[in-house]
Amino acid sequence: MNQPWMRVIIAAIMEVFWVIGLAHADSFWTWTGTIVALLLSNYLMITAAQVLPAGTVYAVFVGLGTAGTVISEILFFGEPFRWEKILLISLLLIGVIGLKLVTDKQVEEGEKM
């Protein structure tokens, strides 16, 4: 996996942290960590979008971030587990993976021109 896609994945992981931080931060240090995660997440997403198609980067970023946030809330914060959520997250991740696969082919074809 190349560097721009790694940036998107790390940005999505940071998105999970800042979204959870918005809901659960209650001290100076948790708010500081939330702000750092938010800034890092957006920086990585923006730099990846300078190389990859911006629409695809944003869709993958939001899809992975949403899935990670929902799973984290279930595992760590007592959100009720429902099979419907898991099914819909799986469907979302299938779409995100499909976008990545299609984008890689388009970028490679564009580079050959």
What is the pLDDT, as a whole number, of residue 11? 96
8 Å CB contact between 66 and 92 = yes
Tell me: the pLDDT tens digits for 16-41?
999 999 999 999 999 999 999 999 99
For residue 80, how many other CB atoms are within 10 A of its CB? 7
Quick count: other Cβ atoms within 10 Å of Cβ 18?
A: 21
Q: Report, as an integer, the average pLDDT of 87-103.
A: 86
* Phi, psi of 48, rounded to the nearest 5 degrees: -70, -35
Return mean pLDDT, the chain.
88
Where in the chain are the domains? 3-112
Least confident piece of the model among 85-89, 90-94, 98-102, 103-107: 103-107
> Cα–Cα distance between 102 and 93 in angstroms, integer?
14
